[in-house]
Amino acid sequence: MTTVLVFLDHAGASLAKSERELLSLGGTLGDVVVALAGDADQAYLDGVGSYGVEEVYRPDSGAVSDVLVAGKAAFLTEAVRVSGAGILLLGNSHEMKEIAARVGVRLESGVITDVVALDGDLTATKADFAGSYTVSCRVTTGVTILTVKPNTFEAVEAGLPSAPREVQIPVEIPPAVARITGRTDKPVSGRPELAEARVIVAGGRGVDGNFGPLEDLADALGGAVGASRAATDAGWIEHSAQIGQTGKTVSPQLYISAGISGAIQQKAGMQTSKVIVAINKDADSPVFEIADFGIIGDLFTVLPQATEEIRKRGL
């Protein structure tokens, strides 16, 4: 059976939803092993093992979680070689895409990013040219390397906790590699991470600096708050909330667009959402072309009404 290597750039005390999705997808493709970039406590390792993973690969020179893409790519390349993996699965962040590209060059293998569906013969479905086209493609050379969008594959229920065997592999970190010298914790909002959220309420130029109604609706729905580049560039919300071609790509079950025109750069980051609801005063706004439901109106009137009704019904 094919060996599937899943790369987990561990950053938490327990498995994130996107990590569980990758492990679940890997389990449908073959025998799963894991490459772990950083240190992890026993509870995390037991969680990995609960998905049938029997081996975890780690660098013998210490964690590579404090180095940027070059060091992680070097480690992951060795993990593929040692494990004999025929398939490599990664997340879909900008960093993961660059790591995948570097590993592809090292292994002379094909890479497919932004995967939202996968057939049994490893034919992947993805969006190209800023979402203008949906294409099907397969890797025909070397190891199949895929970066997978979150919220596109179901995370199956974990089994009983089980500690996988840890295998240390030698890794030569490039001497000129960039390193992380400090971290600043992001303020805790109580909302889910944008890339993993099942519900996202996003605002653009139309919010005019006031994200309050969007935050209220997101909290009522248990969702996250996102934004267009225009809103982040204006300083109305942090850049980590940006969705689009130059921001994050998301695939929630429900995406509510408020005051966003829906230019192609923004569509590229959210058009794989299962249900899209658009709110805009301009009836000719491009966002209505891809919306499942559209409301022509003032977001400062529509959103508070929606929030009140949701809370009234206890949804």
> Does residue 296 have a known ligand-binding role?
no
The Cα–Cα gap between 213 and 299 comes to 8
> In the numeric block, which tokens belong to residue 202?
């996003």
Query: For 149-165, what is each residue's pLDDT tens digit?
Result: 888 898 888 889 888 99
pLDDT at 68: 76
Segment 123-131 shows an average pLDDT of 82
Question: Residue 277: pLDDT above 80?
Answer: yes
Between 39 and 116, the more confident residue is: 116
> Does residue 198 have a known ligand-binding role?
no
Question: Residue 187: pLDDT above 70?
Answer: no
pLDDT at 269: 81
Q: What is the CATH number of domain 3-169?
A: 3.40.50.620
Q: Is 268 exposed, middle or buried (CB count within 10 Å of its CB: 0-12, 13-18, 19+)?
A: buried
Contacts (Cβ under 8 Å, ≥6 apart) of 189: none
CATH topology of 3-169 equal to that of 194-313?
Answer: yes
> Does residue 311 have a known ligand-binding role?
no
Query: For 205-219, what is each residue's pLDDT tens digit?
Result: 999 999 999 999 999
Between 59 and 245, the more confident residue is: 59
Q: What is the pTM of this model?
A: 0.81
pLDDT at 63: 62
Inter-CA distances, 160 with 43, 81, 100, 269, 276, Å: 12, 29, 31, 36, 37
> Does residue 243 have a known ligand-binding role?
yes
* Burial track 287-298 (b if 16+ CB lie within 10 A, e otherwise): bbebbeebbeee
The rounded percent of the chain whose pLDDT value lies above 90 is 61
Segment 106-134 shows an average pLDDT of 89
> Does residue 242 have a known ligand-binding role?
yes
Segment 117-136 shows an average pLDDT of 86
Number of H helices, E strands in the chain: 8, 15
pLDDT at 67: 76
Question: Residue 188: pLDDT above 70?
Answer: no
Question: Residue 173: pLDDT above 80?
Answer: no
Segment 132-140 shows an average pLDDT of 90
Q: What letter would DSSP give residue 17?
A: H
Q: Quickly state the pLDDT bin for 7 (edges 50, 70, 90).
A: very high
What homologous superfamily is domain 194-313 in, according to CATH?
A: TPP-binding domain (3.40.50.1220)
Sheet of strand 87-90: strand arrangement: 111-115, 144-148, 87-90, 3-8, 31-36, 55-59, 165-169
> Does residue 49 have a known ligand-binding role?
no
Pairing state between β 3-8 and 117-118: unpaired
Q: Average the pLDDT over each of 93-107, 122-136, 234-248 and give the range with the smallest value.
A: 122-136
> Does residue 246 have a known ligand-binding role?
yes
Residues 104 and 145 sit within 8 Å (Cβ to Cβ): yes
**Averaged pLDDT score across all residues of the chain:** 89
Domains of the chain by residue range: 3-169, 194-313
